[in-house]
C-alpha cells in the first residue's frame, strides 16, 4: 500500500445505508483514482467516527505532503 501523493485531493461525505438497521458510512476517497483512503461505519454520525477516518487517512500520508480534503462542511468537519 503506497502513501497518498502530495497533489492528491480527497472527498468525504456521510451516507446512510439500509432501511431497518440504518448505518452511517463515512469514507475518505482519493479523487485521482477513486480509491477509499479510510472509512468508518457507525449507527449515527459522531465526532469519534470522524476522528477515526481522519486519523486513518493521516496515517497513510507521506511525510511533508499536504493533500486537500473536500467535505460537505457538515457539523462533523467544523471542529
**Do 12 and 69 touch, CB atoms closer than 8 A?**
yes
pLDDT, one tens digit per residue, over 12-61 is 766 666 556 778 888 888 888 888 889 988 888 888 888 898 899 889 88
What is the model's pLDDT at position 17? 62
Residues whose CB falls within 8 Å of the CB of residue 43, separated by 6 or more in sequence, listed in order: 22, 23, 24
Instruction: Enter the pTM of the model.
Output: 0.69
What is the model's pLDDT at position 52? 92
What is the model's pLDDT at position 27? 87
What is the model's pLDDT at position 6? 45
Say which residue, 54 or 79, is predicted with more confidence: 54
Amino acid at each position: 500500500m503506497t502513501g497518498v501523493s502530495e497533489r492528491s485531493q480527497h472527498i468525504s461525505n456521510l451516507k446512510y445505508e439500509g432501511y431497518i438497521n440504518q448505518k452511517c458510512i463515512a469514507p475518505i476517497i482519493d479523487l485521482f483514482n477513486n480509491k477509499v483512503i479510510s472509512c468508518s461505519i457507525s449507527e449515527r454520525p459522531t465526532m469519534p467516527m470522524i476522528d477515526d477516518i481522519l486519523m486513518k487517512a493521516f496515517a497513510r500520508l507521506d511525510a511533508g505532503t499536504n493533500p486537500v480534503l473536500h467535505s460537505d462542511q457538515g457539523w462533523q468537519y467544523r471542529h
